[in-house]
Amino acid sequence: MAFIKRNYGWIIVTILTALPLIVLTKMIQVDWSDGFTLSLVESMGKGDRTTLDMLYHVTGEFAIRWLTAVLTCTPFFILFGVNNLFVRQAMGIAAAVWSILHFIIFIWMEGFMETFTQVNYVAGFIAVLTLIPLLLTSNRKSMKRLKKKWKKLQKYAYVAVILSLLHVALLEKTWIIYAVVVGIGFIIRIPDVKEHIIAFRLKRKK
């Protein structure tokens, strides 16, 4: 019970990350009868989409959702006074995993060189590259080893989110939802706004 209480944030985020992945694995068929063969279950696509299109779309959606969630952690902490750094770490790992999966599926669909043919693809590619070192250092050993440099490194998550929003904005209109959420989060972070919110919250507790 002590382990669960101490790591409840990681457990919740891991479950929320893993459940959609379990569904996605049903779209993939692995055949070991004649070596290793990976194929798609084509009936799993919705509407006119192929299964591969569906995988590409779903992984991209979850990637941007988790990236947005990571940046809403600090505003949430400011608003409600709840601080759990390791929940944010878990969310960052989820965002990186989904982003890397999204990029792998893109390469599967279009090939690696297609990455450099459009601005939105380049933005997405740089965002994934930015997330990789963040993923590799999202653990307690790295925090202890890097110390103050760890926080500076993790701030590159902002770069990844901005590039991801650019990537999505050039593809579809749903980006505005994420942009509004991230924008409100940045407003709450403004020192004067932050101080007023904290002061109001503490006053209400009295």
What tokens were used for 105? 């599926």
Identify the band that residue 78 occupies on the pLDDT scale cut at 50, 70 and 90. confident
**Helical segments of 8-138, H only:** 8-25, 51-80, 85-110, 119-136
- Cα separation, 81 vs 116, in Å, equals 43
List beta partners, residue 33: 35
Q: Is 30 helix (H, G, I), strand (E, B) or coil?
A: strand
How far separated are the first and last CA of the chain, in Å rounded?
32
Q: How far is it, in rounded angstroms, from Cα 60 to Cα 99?
A: 7
Q: Which residue has the higher pLDDT, 67 or 24?
A: 67
| Model confidence pLDDT, tens digit, residues 11-55 | 788 888 888 878 777 777 777 777 667 677 766 556 667 788 888
Measured CA to CA, the distance from residue 64 to residue 121 in angstroms comes to 14
- Mean pLDDT over 6-10 rounds to 69
Q: How far apart are CA 127 and CA 107, in angstroms?
A: 15
Task: Give the pLDDT confidence score for residue 24 in this predicted structure.
Answer: 77
Rounded-to-integer distance, Cα 165 and Cα 169, Å: 6
pTM comes to: 0.82
Sort strands 28-31 and 37-40 into parallel, antiparallel or unpaired: antiparallel
Mean pLDDT of 104-120: 90
DSSP letter at 190 equals S
Tens-digit pLDDT profile for residues 122-148: 999 999 999 998 888 887 788 888 888
